[in-house]
Structure 1
Amino acid sequence: MLNDSEIDRDAGQLAAYRTSDTLSDILDKYSTLIQEYRRLKSDYEEERDAREKYKQVAKSQERNPFVLVLVDGDGYVFNEDLIGRGPDAGSTAAQVLNDAVRQSLRKKGLEHCQVMVRIYANVAGLSKALNKAGGSVGAEKRSLAPFIASFNRSYGLTELVDAGELKENADFKLRALLNLYAENGQCKHIYFAACHDVGYISDLTPHMGNTNRFTLVDAHCIRFQKEFTKLGMAVEHFPGVFRNSPLDLATSYTRGSNGVIPPEAPRGPQGGSPPTPSPSSTTAPAAAPRKKIVCQTFPLGKCKFGAQCRYSHGDDPRKAGTTATPTHNPSHSVSSSSTSWRDTARLDSAAALAAIKKLPSKKSLPEGHVAVNKNGFRLDPYVQPSTNEAVNRLNTRTRRVRVCNNFHLNGQCPAGDHCEYDHSPLEDDLKAALETLARSTPCGRRGACRDAKCTKGHICQLLDCKSRGGHGFCKIPFSSHSEDMTLAQYVPAIRSRVSPTTNNTSAEGSSIYEDEELDDEGEAHTPSGITLAGED
């Protein structure tokens, strides 16, 4: 048995061991606390730096605040009294617009903001339209240039920009600026003046109901589309800034009852007199007098002949027969057929499809005859649109060897077994793609062609054609797009002298075409390639 001294010694050792074990645990916990402290300190420093950066960014956004005024100048046209005020007319117009915006800003408490104005317009087309509407500008192609120069030098942030003659250029620029500044901190408010075009709805929808940041601008010269009222944004007028009536060129660029531009009589080489009809086609209705035929290039601002043009530019725009339809604002009404001079040149795809489907079918064509309209203009048979898959397969096949148009589309080839092009069988969908491709290359004889075996195009069957306001590349002459596609009669064909290699096509370009084509200015050129819909 242990004596008392041994027991005391063992008890002391146990106490010492317990003390030593507790100290180790405390040291471990202390080390963990130090690590957590260092992590929290690092997070705090990052948060502090981010806070400082945020303060700097917020401070910079409060520096040089501005409001943006976006205007589609093709629809929102300045008041005629402002445009016709001589060399300083542009400065006056800029001042009137700036004053109207300033007055609106005072109501919003944003009078301290600078005003940035961006107006985009087709200057050539707008100049022509204004000249015909009342002569407030000259007849030159860009007679608005002095007005624009005066406008642009009036204020540092005020610009009226020529967007070019393509229909969608102004839309493209306005959308880009709208998307850029919609979330910009320095831009405190946006005045949007393009409410005649529903194409902008998708760009404004993400900001629906944001009245603190967006204001829509209405004007008497446009038809305010009701879709914009559903956005829940404020709508304002700028009195005295824009025209009190639409800039309407309906008399010089009208559509028929079916939505198609009225036909123009076919022209011969060099844009001269209509081609002399063959004896077999003399029963076709006679072409209208030259001055009653509407010029197809004037509404696009491309007519270089001005008052000397042999075709009509419209005698009196004020006589345009339109029916007034009220907008959401009862204080004014505008023509439902003239939202803007630019939009009258657009054909929707449904109307284009309805017009194209009036073409005769290939099966209905009598042997040895061609179809013509009431003007005696050659009509092609309707071609069913090809699928992208068929076009790709045709492309793959023609990379090896070109196929023969005469053999596959007409059933026979003058060269027979000596033809250098492929006569091997084609599937039906590839034949349709080949015919679409062949018809996309214009015939040099245009509507005067009477060759039943001609596989080239005489009218356009492309729904998205750029000449109808779309985006698809088209080589068919512009004047041919205005022809009536309604069948009038079948006339006996006249066989032309065509070489065996004339009507052979590659899916990636034109082959050896021997006859020349005529462009819209009457100048000859040879085709350099063919593009299908969706390939441009």
Structure 2
Amino acid sequence: MTARKERAAQEAVIQNLRAEGQALQKRLATVVSEYGVYLKKSNGVSELVRSEVMNSQNTTTVTVPKTASKDAMIIPTNNAMDAVILVLIDGMSHMVHDELYSNNGGAKTAMRLRAVVREKLAAVLPAIARSGQYQIVIKTFACLKRLRERFIARKLPIPGLRSLTFHFTEFTKVSPFYDFVNTGDENQVSVRISENLKLHMASGQCKHIFFCAAGSPRYHDTLNRHLAQKEKVTIVTGSVVDENIRRLGLRTISFANVFKASRLNYGVIDTTTKPTSIKAPAELITPKLSSTSVTAVPTKGLTSVSLVAKEVDAPPLPSPLPTQARYGLVPINLARQRLDFRMQIPTPAELQAYKERSKVLELCIDFHLHGNCIASDCMLSHGSPLSPEVYNVLEYKALGTPCSKGSECRSLDCINAHVCQKEECARAGGRAALCGLTDAMHHVDPHVAEWVVGYDDAVQSDSPAQGDVISIAGPRVDGGGSAASWTTRLDELLS
């Protein structure tokens, strides 16, 4: 009898909880519906203001709602014929610093962006910067649902989707020319940014584009098609390292007080005052190796780089290793073994730049690639940031050292090898002479099966972590040649 009463009481509690849950769901649906109406009204007003400003021939002022800070309250709007300085932002690859997502961070983000763009513009287009006859237009694209998932996966301090929405709403209030688009689909982010890039590259009124996007083959393809207008574009580094974009040789800078940077971007130098020379696209994809390769010459336990004449007869071997990074994720195969990104052989110009930089003292890989060196008695060179050319060679050399965690590694900041990419070993069907990687690293399935959440060494312990599965790739990720045809002599560089 007592048991029946207890069961009845428990069932009553469950029924009450269900009723409460249903009531909460109804309230939530009402709030979501009302918020949708609010967004529609807000967007309509924003479009109306933008239309009025663009049609105005005189300088006027736009009053920003009280939620924005005092510095952003009065914004000059320019004549319709003023120059347009476009800032394209991929919110998935270029995330702002965590503290900017709290309180009134949206307005602060917008003002920081405006300030740094003005500063960089003075170096790129000094005449336009001095005249003041220009308008900064910022277009940000992101999938808020996926962005929130990444915050949760990495245990970053973000309350939720509502906070992200509020952040970007405050961002757009600072100026009628600052827009945010929630694409709803992550794939649409790169599509919209690429199309906007094409549109404004063809526009005579748009004088310069700060390109804050990475991680999609579309970006590389679109930029590559516009290399004839290379002076019109500046690449801004962010949370994702895009090796393909970096090899285009475009002017590269960072907005350090706005965007979080990957440790692999710490070596990027500001090239606004001294643009990197641009190579022909064909040379970027397939370096000319018929007359030059590399050899490593041991000197007092260190490795130096020199150029050696050598004919390359063997064709490159295919490699399905990935070429594009995904923010906060690392690639693994079906056996849950960590994979590396496919690397390209350094060009002769990059090797020469490396020789010049390291001729006095060998460069410290930990300091320049990983962001810090813990050796108190380190005798290697730390010094100033590396040029992109030198950085590429040093990054390539780092793959000659096996990761101590091996295939279990899930570190986002790891600079060492988890898979052997040497062509000599691939042709031998296993570990070749002088290869410094482990036997196990020569028998790893290089096909990507999943992208799992990685951990940041700055906030996690050194213990291996498996990571949580985010998505499962359907088809295999296939690519071109094995690191653009590595030669036996070059393999010695990694030994």
Fold agreement, TM-score > 0.5: no
TM-score (ref. length: structure 2): 0.39
